[in-house]
Amino acid sequence: MYRIEGLAKLAGRERYVDDLPLQDFLWGMTVRSPVPRGRIRAIRFAKDVDWREFVVVDHHDIPGPNEVLLIERDQPVLAAQYVRHMHEPVLLVAHPSRDAVRRAVRAIEVVVDPEEPVLDYRKPPRPDQVQYGSDNVFKRITIAKGDVERAFAGAAVVVGGVYETGAQEHVYLETQGMIARLEGDTVVVVGSMQCPYYVLTALMHALKRDEHRVRVVQAPTGGGFGGKEEYPSHVALHASLLALKARRTVKIVYDRGEDLAATTKRHPACIRHRTGLAQDGRLLAQDIEIVLDGGAYVTLSPVVLSRAAIHGAGPYRCDHVRIQGRVMLTNAVPYGAFRGFGAPQVQFAVERHMDVIARRLNMDPVEVRRINLLRDGDTTATGQVIRDGVDRIRLMERAVELCGYHAKRLDHARHNASDATTRRGMGIATSYHGSGFTGAGEVRLKSRVHVAGLAGGRVEVRTASVEMGQGTLTVFTRLAADRLGLAREDVLIAEPDTGRVPDSGPTVASRTVMVVGKLVERACDDLRRQLELGRETRGDTLRDAIRAWHREHRGAELIGEAVYKKPPGIEWDDTNYRGDAYAAFGWGAHAAEVEVDLRTGNMKVLDFVAVLDVGTVLAETLARGQVQGGVVQGIGWALMEECKFLGGAMANNQLTNYAIPTSADVPPIRVVFVETPFEHGPQGAKGLGELPVNGTAPAVLNAIAAATGTSPGNIPLTPEVMLDLLERGAGTAVVG
């Protein structure tokens, strides 16, 4: 099945926010904090600029509360007296000339009396650094299963390890961008985003307007990866405030340098494992500590921590597990949603740790996993019984077979014994990812979908789920067409416009296909019910019925509706973190072959295999692309993407110095889908988008460890670090 908007994108016809025709508008820009923490003493406007030409907005211009509404209300739209991170928005400026506004921003000085910032989330804060609660901890989560200490007492072997992962930038091709205009008394915002209703809610709150006086429209979006989950609310607020003050249309589009410096990134994490094992390699006890860097405001960090904690123990059976997580305030730009949402960090740790365990026990890493992988009927750390018919061991074996694991290992042993300058190795990792919102989140969201029967006999799917390159348009078209027996041309997908589409929740958390897609099917069923037709009515008969209905009800809307219903048997206790964390999990096994250059420390991934069970695959080409893209993002995170922070600012905020992989840096990526249908997903589908990232970095690092005999525990593992590890020699162990 072809991608619905594919040709428009390929031919350059798709219009992203910066391409939309716009007349008589102002360019908006943001004046930001020059320091990571401090009290604003003054704002100085250069004398040689005629400021009457400019529209300038500060916190006094905010009609409602100066708060970006999310989980908490601690983050201001524009800093008033105090700044908590570098590049925090303080003022907004607009002018018809983009160059003029760029100059104006440089002509405004925000004078701050600096205070001692927190720049290392791993160290406990000094008293003068405390800025949240009594200890800068935004959120703590504990998961407890069994009796960990008693299990350790009976363990033959205890293996410790510390693992760290760095910040990662989304590098969506299209930077953040938003247009705000006034239609009568309504503020209309059009822009690049994943969650139109998040933006709407934030606008209603800070602009003090009800939903009739604000409208949010998603423009075609050039990639999100989580970076357009919460951040677009800021850009939308800024553009709206300028538009309201200027009474004119305002466009804000970040250039890459501003986008890299000022927007969210993946949470850095430090994860400590202590694992008790039987002599035969069975897991007896897992004690895991997770610490995340949250940055300067709460934003989504508690939820990221939640997903990290729930996935912390890996897809393994273990009766005694303790997971303690916390997310810390620092004076960094707030970390935010990023594909995987906490799960890649903890799975990097647990999967590297499984290889550390295997080396300690002198076992094959595949064998250690085979012994411990969850079987149907086993429970996860939260006590969720896994019984979905997926054979996770077979999944791993498929990856092992496909990459030629055993033969390659023999080849590599020969190669490594004779080659002067390179070392090769194989690495395996397994992975899992819960589809949809955690715990009771989906129930709270109460997502709603409409499928309208149009007068001509076609149908229109109305959801707030956006297309950002991942295939929403294509998959929803297929789901509705299949459900109603219509040709794909007879299914339209509505533009996500909060004035027209219901709130089907955010486009995040691998939930679009499984959760919203299911609602699309049910809304199709409801449409038929409205027409008093049975399930067997399809195709032309249905089209005729829709047309007939409209002839009888001229001017009226024929709408099928569905509202989220929890699948039966799912129970979650949010207080104690017990129960069914997700309605379904996707499962993966990943294999990497690498070559390390001993001269330069350069690491090249030679081959990569990903075997995934995400239920039924609805659009195979797109799904394969999602997996390959996730693997590339994982390779970048593992080996080259390093945010270099200097005094709380990203120093390498250019794509020349923040290196992401090119096509020359990635191997052939072979993708295999094992399709075990999930009974509550549309046509049996589960979530897919995030899973491919989870297993990539550990598979690559495990391969490097195998190739070199070193034991790297931190990513990104740059050539600089690799060369140091190689010089220190084989057997370098992470400290337990």
16 vs 645, beta carbon nearer other proteins: 645
DSSP 439: T
* Distance, first Cα to last Cα, the chain: 50
Binds other proteins by CB under 8 A, chosen from 601, 629, 695, 713 = 601
**Is 662 a binder of other proteins (CB under 8 A)?**
yes
454 vs 660, beta carbon nearer other proteins: 660
Least distance from C-beta 255 to other proteins, angstroms?
6
**Is 537 a binder of other proteins (CB under 8 A)?**
no
CA distance 54 to 480: 49
The side-by-side arrangement of strands in the sheet containing 108-114 is 82-83, 38-45, 108-114
Residues of this chain, 234-263, that bind other proteins according to CB under 8 A: 255, 257
Helix (H, G, I), strand (E, B) or coil at 562: strand
Binds other proteins by CB under 8 A, chosen from 553, 644, 679, 730 = 644
Binds other proteins by CB under 8 A, chosen from 600, 620, 647, 679 = 600
Least distance from C-beta 569 to other proteins, angstroms?
48
Binds other proteins by CB under 8 A, chosen from 48, 50, 99, 536 = 99
**Is 42 a binder of other proteins (CB under 8 A)?**
no
The mark string for 105-124 relative to other proteins (x by CB under 8 A, - otherwise) is: -x------------------
**Is 573 a binder of other proteins (CB under 8 A)?**
no
Nearest Cα to Cα of residue 570 among 384, 313, 716:
384
CA distance 40 to 246: 25
Beta pairing, strands 422-434 & 585-597: antiparallel
Least distance from C-beta 720 to other proteins, angstroms?
4
175 vs 430, beta carbon nearer other proteins: 175
Binds other proteins by CB under 8 A, chosen from 103, 317, 409, 538 = 103
Tokens at residue 647, please?
């005094």
Length of the chain: 736
How many helices (H) does the chain have, and how many strands (E)?
Answer: 19, 28
Stretch that binds other proteins, among 278-286, 386-394, 594-602, 623-631 (CB under 8 A): 594-602
567 vs 667, beta carbon nearer other proteins: 667
Q: Are 714 and 724 in contact (CB under 8 A)?
A: no
Binds other proteins by CB under 8 A, chosen from 97, 142, 576, 657 = 657
Least distance from C-beta 195 to other proteins, angstroms?
29
134 vs 663, beta carbon nearer other proteins: 663
81 vs 421, beta carbon nearer other proteins: 421
**Is 81 a binder of other proteins (CB under 8 A)?**
no
**Is 598 a binder of other proteins (CB under 8 A)?**
yes
Beta pairing, strands 186-191 & 214-218: parallel
Least distance from C-beta 597 to other proteins, angstroms?
9
39 vs 106, beta carbon nearer other proteins: 106
Residue 180 β-bridge partners: 189, 250
Q: Exposure of 729 by Cβ count < 10 A (0-12 exposed, 13-18 middle, 19+ buried)?
A: exposed
Rounded to the nearest 10 degrees, the angle between the axes of helix 343-361 and helix 301-311 is 30
Q: How many residues bind other proteins (CB under 8 A)?
A: 31
CA distance 590 to 430: 6
11 vs 664, beta carbon nearer other proteins: 664
- For residue 447, give the amino acid letter: S
H/E/C letters for each residue in 300-328? Answer: CHHHHHHHHHHHCCCCECCCCEEEEEEEE
Residues of this chain, 383-442, that bind other proteins according to CB under 8 A: 420-421
- Block residue for tokens 């429970």: 379
**Is 599 a binder of other proteins (CB under 8 A)?**
yes
Least distance from C-beta 651 to other proteins, angstroms?
6
Nearest Cα to Cα of residue 431 among 536, 533, 349:
349
Binds other proteins by CB under 8 A, chosen from 173, 407, 651, 730 = 651
CA distance 472 to 492: 12
* Ordered DSSP codes for 655-682: TTTS----GGGS--EEEEE-----TTSG
Stretch that binds other proteins, among 118-126, 293-301, 579-587, 651-659 (CB under 8 A): 651-659
Q: Are 561 and 526 in contact (CB under 8 A)?
A: yes
- For residue 175, give the amino acid letter: T
CA distance 36 to 335: 14
Least distance from C-beta 99 to other proteins, angstroms?
7
Residue 38 β-bridge partners: 83, 114
Stretch that binds other proteins, among 56-64, 229-237, 273-281, 662-670 (CB under 8 A): 662-670
Least distance from C-beta 79 to other proteins, angstroms?
23
Residues of this chain, 713-732, that bind other proteins according to CB under 8 A: 719-720, 723, 727
| Interacting residue ranges for other proteins, rule: CB under 8 A | 99, 102-103, 106, 255, 257, 420-421, 598-602, 604, 640, 644, 651-652, 656-657, 659-665, 719-720, 723, 727
